[in-house]
């Protein structure tokens, strides 16, 4: 067809929403690139330093929703020093100038200051949704400005962020007489909330569907909230316990029975064990249950509850559940799609928790499983092979054995065969995180079989550079590679020189790479930012071992806000 | 001695580095067992002869259960008994008995904690502490703690004119202790985040050896038994 009208292309592209599909469409020809750029509403920036905000706005002038991710994932585990960067300020500034009609802003692992929130609040009157996942640097004052100025705010989600507590007044700043709030999540907030403010907020938010409270919200307040918002779909409770108010618990019981649409439950914090029966009132409808913040619940309580949740699709729980509990999960929750088991005890030598038996039980019972995060005390190859056979639809598999370098608990072999079986049979595996004693063989398997793998996290594994080389040569779709405490050296690092531009980022910490190797990589690939994070003083000679290395592709050149301990090569 | 250790334990060139470390780098500790804890001969380790063969380590425990036979002999029998032992001693023994499922990482318990492992987000740290506190409470039993009497330790804060004394037995965990110290000194309330690492002050203590340690690493029980004195110091010094 010689002439294809732009309007038709525009119309067709309007139906294409996924980022990857749109990226692919934009590569067809210049016309499509331009049209796609003009019509894209939702932009996802996976690395805030990969591109300058101005350039994003130049290409996508009509964007309405912006998602930006900042620090590397290992920042969650204290591997990235404070002050590393990822400030949201440049993004908010650029957006305020170019796109004041912004409706959604989602930031992950970025530093957001109160000033930034203030700027946000005053620049985007149309803001509907603000999601700050694992962010830090702001306080309740910033939340107050957002609440006051963003009159149409529908969603305020502070999942996992660190918020400095400066007062309880922010909840009363939301618009009166009514708000358009549909989702409010302040579960991570430390500090008290004003009961009156919260109750009146819920009373004047008729569209509220999702509400996640923090620990400080007492039982009586929760009961009142549920009475005024019985249409809630997602609830995160506060601390539910016996209090001075004798009528609180009974009113909570009766209120929760009225919540017939409730299908997602989380919270509980340090609630005592005897509170678990309250969940039974809504068990039948529950699809998401997150008890991973409730360390007091024991196996027997969890079993009694989960046994009744036949429709459960997402389950996040601490390893108190034990193998016995997981067997109950396997027999009752046949619709389960996502399972996450978190370690309850920081003491890595505690041998309580879950083992390979629980994993095998769940995999044989819950055939629809596609995402697993399993923290256990021991594992065997045969268990992993069984899991691979049973659940071949797994797309995300993360196994953390608490004592690193653990071998197969029965045969004493490394866990290569088990993980090899997983990558061989789960053809759609996109995310893999491994632990235990692993040699180069497992990397060979990954390189050979894991074609769709996009994120790989490795710790305390491998014997030699070959391991990393297998992965870099084999996995064509690899985007993020995170390595810590592995014996990979400069040869391995430089073997992937041609690969890093196709990947989002590479993180290597406590490996065997030296400054010389990093410098060679930086010299060979100007399109990459090769950043070395080192806090120890020492010479800058080429033989110096590099503590932490972060390599990512970028169009923006070296960072201009790098702190002293980050050196760009 | 380091030269004769098989490669898969030392990882080749890193063996020499292990010897030359001036300070204890926790990130490396677990791969290289502490050489001062036992004397050994190379026969005790299963050597990995080629890359294809995998070791069946026969040396796991530091105490009298060492087998002096040639590598690979009786490995399975040793394993079976070790497995039974590790399942029976629940979380108690801080030494290698509990590491029966692990192979060459026979480091003592206090050195097993590594930065960022197990990989749990920082926002879950408060769940960790209350979990170990509750586990300690349950394992100790209700009446036992009250019978032993108070355990008063001095608490000093940098910049405060006088010290205080607190009874460690009245608290169930680090969270309660922190709250109590906050009530006494007002040091933690202006900080952000639940973990003691953030903010202006950090909670440190002197143990029975006289070393200044950062509070929060060991289970509460162990902390109470070894803490002799508490010190609240500025985070800038604590780094």
Residue A528: half-sphere exposure toward Cβ, Cα within 13 Å? 29
Band of the pLDDT at B2, cuts 50, 70, 90? very low
> From the list A162, A346, A400, which residue is nearest B193 (CB)?
A162
> From the list B14, B27, B113, which residue is nearest A487 (CB)?
B14
Q: Is B208 exposed, middle or buried (0-12, 13-18, 19+ CB in 10 A)?
A: exposed
The pLDDT, as a whole number, for residue B132 is 59
Supply the CATH classification number for the domain A1-40. Answer: 1.20.1280.50
Q: Residue A530 is encoded by which pair of tokens? A: 């090769």
Report the DSSP pairing between strands A480-484 and A455-459: parallel
> From the list A74, A409, A512, which residue is nearest B101 (CB)?
A409
The yes-or-no verdict on residue B55 having pLDDT over 80 is: no
Q: Hey, are the CB atoms on A349 and B132 less than 8 Å from each other?
A: no
A1-24 as b/e, with b when 16 or more CB fall inside 10 Å?
A: eeeeeeeebeeebeeeeeeeebee
| Position with higher pLDDT, A530 vs B58 | A530
The pLDDT, as a whole number, for residue B238 is 64
* B28 belongs to a structural domain: no
Residues of A in contact with B8 (CB under 8 A): 439, 463
Structural element, H or E, at residue A149: helix A140-149
Other CB atoms within a 10 A radius of the CB of residue A77 amount to: 17
The pLDDT, as a whole number, for residue B147 is 42
The pLDDT, as a whole number, for residue A201 is 94
The dihedral through the CA atoms of A153, B121, A307, A298 has a sign that is negative
Q: Tell me: cis bond preceding A92? Omega within 30 of 0 counts.
A: no
- 3-state secondary structure (DSSP) of residue B207: strand
Based on the structure, what is the number of domains in chain B? 1
Q: Between B174-185 and B125-140, two packed helices, what is the crossing angle to 10 degrees?
A: 110
The dihedral region occupied by A78, where left means phi > 0, alpha psi between -120 and 50, and beta the remainder, is left
Q: Hey, are the CB atoms on B128 and A190 less than 8 Å from each other?
A: no
Q: Which residue is associated with the tokens 């919260």?
A: A198
Give average pLDDT by consecutive 10-residue segment, chain A, 569 residues: 81 89 92 92 94 94 94 90 92 94 95 94 94 94 93 93 90 90 93 90 94 91 92 91 78 90 90 86 91 87 89 92 92 94 74 86 93 92 94 93 86 92 94 93 94 94 92 93 93 91 93 91 92 77 87 92 87
- Whichever domain contains B166, its CATH number is 3.10.20.90
CA distance B223 to A233: 43
The pLDDT, as a whole number, for residue B27 is 44
Nearest residue on chain A to B199, alpha-carbon basis: A164
In chain A, CATH 1.20.1280.50 covers 1-40
Q: How far is B86 from chain A (nearest CA, A)?
A: 8
pLDDT tens-digit readout, B7-24: 444 333 444 444 444 444
* B69 belongs to a structural domain: no
> From the list B86, B103, B120, which residue is nearest A407 (CB)?
B103
* B213 belongs to a structural domain: yes
Nearest residue on chain B to A467, alpha-carbon basis: B51
Computed over its alpha carbons, how large is the radius of gyration of chain A? Answer: 25
Nearest residue on chain B to A167, alpha-carbon basis: B190
* B224 belongs to a structural domain: yes
Which region among A442-456, A540-554, B62-76, B146-160 has the lowest average model confidence (pLDDT)? B62-76
Q: Hey, are the CB atoms on B117 and A405 less than 8 Å from each other?
A: no
The pLDDT, as a whole number, for residue B88 is 33
Residues of A in contact with B130 (CB under 8 A): 270, 295-296
CA distance B106 to B62: 8
Closest by CA to A305, choosing from A328, A324, A327, is A328
Q: Residue B116 is encoded by which pair of tokens? A: 């960022």
List Cβ neighbours of B219 (8 Å cut-off, separation of 6 or more): A345, A346, A347, B132, B135, B136
Q: How far is A569 from chain B (nearest CA, A)?
A: 25
> From the list B51, B122, B135, which residue is nearest A440 (CB)?
B51
Q: How far is A514 from chain B (nearest CA, A)?
A: 13
Q: Which domain holds residue B181?
A: 155-190+201-234
Q: Residue A400 is encoded by which pair of tokens? A: 């953390």
Residues of A in contact with B88 (CB under 8 A): none
Q: A373: which strand partners?
A: A340, A398
Q: Hey, are the CB atoms on B101 and A460 less than 8 Å from each other?
A: no
Q: Which residue is associated with the tokens 């926002």?
A: B123
CA distance A336 to A355: 19
CA distance A409 to A440: 20
pLDDT tens-digit readout, B19-46: 444 444 444 433 434 333 333 333 333 3
Q: Hey, are the CB atoms on A403 and B101 less than 8 Å from each other?
A: yes
Q: Residue A169 is encoded by which pair of tokens? A: 């007044």
The dihedral through the CA atoms of A347, A352, A357, A360 has a sign that is negative
pLDDT tens-digit readout, B103-130: 333 444 444 567 777 788 877 776 666 5
> From the list B12, B52, B127, which residue is nearest A295 (CB)?
B127
Residue percentage of chain B with pLDDT more than 90: 0
Other CB atoms within a 10 A radius of the CB of residue B15 amount to: 18
Instruction: Give the sheet arrangement for strand B201-207, strand by strand.
Output: B164-167, B152-157, B227-234, B201-207, B212-214
The pLDDT, as a whole number, for residue B68 is 52
Q: Does A458 touch chain B (CB under 8 A)?
A: no
**Taking a C-beta distance cutoff of 8 angstroms, is the pair A536, A511 a contact?**
no
Q: Hey, are the CB atoms on B8 and A78 less than 8 Å from each other?
A: no
The pLDDT, as a whole number, for residue B73 is 45
The yes-or-no verdict on residue B83 having pLDDT over 50 is: no
The pLDDT, as a whole number, for residue A95 is 94
The pLDDT, as a whole number, for residue A33 is 93
Q: How far is B223 from chain A (nearest CA, A)?
A: 13
Beta strand segments in A241-344, E: 264-268, 288-290, 314-318, 338-342
Q: What are all long-range contacts of A112-116, with beta carbons under 8 Å and residues at least 24 apart?
A: A112/A87, A112/A88, A112/A136, A112/A137, A112/A138, A112/A142, A113/A87, A113/A88, A113/A89, A113/A137, A113/A138, A113/A142, A114/A138, A114/A139, A114/A141, A114/A142, A114/A145, A115/A89, A116/A87, A116/A88, A116/A89, A116/A92, A116/A142
The yes-or-no verdict on residue B72 having pLDDT over 80 is: no
A281-306 as b/e, with b when 16 or more CB fall inside 10 Å?
A: bbbebbbbbbbbbbbbbbbebbbbbb
Measured at the CA of A474, the angle between CA A469 and CA A480, to 5 degrees, comes to: 80
The pLDDT, as a whole number, for residue A266 is 93
Q: Hey, are the CB atoms on A164 and B128 less than 8 Å from each other?
A: no
Structural element, H or E, at residue A328: helix A322-332
Nearest residue on chain B to A378, alpha-carbon basis: B101
Residues of B in contact with A271 (CB under 8 A): none
Question: Which 3-state string (H, E, C) describes A304-324?
Answer: HHHCCCCCCCEEEEEHHHHHH
Nearest residue on chain A to B194, alpha-carbon basis: A190
Residues of A in contact with B102 (CB under 8 A): 403, 405-407
| Position with higher pLDDT, B96 vs A149 | A149
Q: Hey, are the CB atoms on B193 and A487 less than 8 Å from each other?
A: no
Q: Hey, are the CB atoms on B83 and A409 less than 8 Å from each other?
A: yes
> From the list B103, B114, B122, which residue is nearest A412 (CB)?
B103
Residues 438-457 of A with CB under 8 A from B: 439-441, 457
The pLDDT, as a whole number, for residue B123 is 76
Q: How far is A561 from chain B (nearest CA, A)?
A: 22
CA distance A454 to A456: 7
A138-163 as b/e, with b when 16 or more CB fall inside 10 Å?
A: bbbbbbbbbbebbeebbbbbbbbbbb
Q: How far is B154 from chain A (nearest CA, A)?
A: 27
Report the DSSP pairing between strands A162-164 and A183-185: unpaired
Nearest residue on chain B to A457, alpha-carbon basis: B119
CA distance A281 to B93: 42
Q: Is A523 exposed, middle or buried (0-12, 13-18, 19+ CB in 10 A)?
A: exposed
Structural element, H or E, at residue B155: strand B152-157
CA distance A372 to B59: 33
Nearest residue on chain A to B55, alpha-carbon basis: A413
The pLDDT, as a whole number, for residue B90 is 33
């Amino acid at each position: 067809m010689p002439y294809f009208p732009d309007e038709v292309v525009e119309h067709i592209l309007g139906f294409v929403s996924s980022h990857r599909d749109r990226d692919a469409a934009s590569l067809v020809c210049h016309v499509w690139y331009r049209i796609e750029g003009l019509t894209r509403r939702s932009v996802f920036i996976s690395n805030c330093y990969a591109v300058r905000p101005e350039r994003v706005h130049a290409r996508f002038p009509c964007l309405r929703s912006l998602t930006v991710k900042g620090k590397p994932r290992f920042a969650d585990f204290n591997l990235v020093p404070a002050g590393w960067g990822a400030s949201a300020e440049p993004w908010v500034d650029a957006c305020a100038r170019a796109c004041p009609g912004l409706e959604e802003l989602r930031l992950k692992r970025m530093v957001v200051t109160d000033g930034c929130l203030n700027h946000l609040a005053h620049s985007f009157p149309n803001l509907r949704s603000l999601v700050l996942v694992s962010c830090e640097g702001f306080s309740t004052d910033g939340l107050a400005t957002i609440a006051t100025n963003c009159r149409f705010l529908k969603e305020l989600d502070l999942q996992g962020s660190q918020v400095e507590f400066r007062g309880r007044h922010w909840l009363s700043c939301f618009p009166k007489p009514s708000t358009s709030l549909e989702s409010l999540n302040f579960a991570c907030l430390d500090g008290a909330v004003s009961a009156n403010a919260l109750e009146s907020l819920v009373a004047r938010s008729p569209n509220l569907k999702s509400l996640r409270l923090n620990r400080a919200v007492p039982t009586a307040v929760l009961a009142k909230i549920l009475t005024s918002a019985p249409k809630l779909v997602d609830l995160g409770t506060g601390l539910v316990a016996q209090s001075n108010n004798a009528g609180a618990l009974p009113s909570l019981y009766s209120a929760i029975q009225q919540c017939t649409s409730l299908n997602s439950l989380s919270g509980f914090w340090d609630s005592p064990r005897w509170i678990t029966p309250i969940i039974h009132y809504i068990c039948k409808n529950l699809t998401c249950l997150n008890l991973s913040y409730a360390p007091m619940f024991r196996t027997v309580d969890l079993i009694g509850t989960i046994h009744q949740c036949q429709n459960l699709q997402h389950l996040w729980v601490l390893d108190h559940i034990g193998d016995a509990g997981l067997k109950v999960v396997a027999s009752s929750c046949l619709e389960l799609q996502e399972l996450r088991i978190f370690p309850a005890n920081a003491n890595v030598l505690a041998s309580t928790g879950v083992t390979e038996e629980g994993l095998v039980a769940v995999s044989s019972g819950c055939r629809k499983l596609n995402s697993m995060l399993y923290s256990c005390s021991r594992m065997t190859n045969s268990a992993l092979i069984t899991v691979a056979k049973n659940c071949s639809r797994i797309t995300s598999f993360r196994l953390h054995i608490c004592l690193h370098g653990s071998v197969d608990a029965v045969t004493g072999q490394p866990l290569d065969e088990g993980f090899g079986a997983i990558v061989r049979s789960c053809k759609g595996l996109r995310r893999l995180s491994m632990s235990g004693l692993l040699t180069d063989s497992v990397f060979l398997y990954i390189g050979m079989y894991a074609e769709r793998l996009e994120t790989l996290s490795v710790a305390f594994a491998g014997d030699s550079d070959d391991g990393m080389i297998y992965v870099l040569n084999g996995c064509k779709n690899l985007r993020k590679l995170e390595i810590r405490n592995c014996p990979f050296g400069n040869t391995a690092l430089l073997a992937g020189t041609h690969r890093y531009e196709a990947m989002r980022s590479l993180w290597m910490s406590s490996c065997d790479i030296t400054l010389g190797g990093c410098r060679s990589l930086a010299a060979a690939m100007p399109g990459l930012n090769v950043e070395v994070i080192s806090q120890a003083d020492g010479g800058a000679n080429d033989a110096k071992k590099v503590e932490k290395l972060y390599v990512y592709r970028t169009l923006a050149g070296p960072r201009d806000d790098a702190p002293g301990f980050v050196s760009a090569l | 001695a380091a030269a004769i250790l098989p490669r898969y334990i030392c990882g080749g060139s890193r063996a020499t580095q292990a010897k030359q470390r001036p300070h204890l780098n926790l990130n490396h500790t677990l791969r290289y067992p502490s050489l001062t804890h036992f004397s050994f001969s190379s026969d005790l380790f299963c050597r990995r002869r080629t890359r294809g063969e995998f070791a069946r380590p026969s040396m796991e425990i530091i105490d009298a259960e060492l087998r002096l036979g040639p590598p690979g002999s009786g490995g399975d029998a040793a394993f079976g008994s070790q497995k039974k032992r590790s399942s029976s001693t629940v979380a108690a023994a801080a030494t290698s008995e509990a590491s029966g499922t692990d192979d060459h990482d026979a480091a003592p318990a206090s050195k097993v904690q590594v930065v960022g492992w197990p990989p749990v987000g920082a926002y879950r740290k408060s769940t960790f502490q209350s979990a170990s506190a509750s586990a300690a409470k349950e394992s100790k039993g209700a009446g036992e703690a009250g019978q032993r009497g108070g355990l008063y330790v001095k608490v000093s804060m940098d910049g405060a004119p006088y010290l205080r004394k607190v009874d460690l037995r009245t608290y169930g965990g680090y969270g309660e202790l922190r709250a109590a110290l906050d009530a006494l000194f007002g040091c933690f309330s202006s900080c952000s985040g639940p973990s003691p690492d953030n903010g202006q002050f950090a909670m440190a203590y002197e143990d029975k050896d006289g070393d200044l340690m950062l509070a929060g690493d060991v289970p509460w029980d162990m902390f109470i038994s070894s803490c002799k004195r508490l010190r609240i110091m500025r985070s800038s010094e604590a780094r």
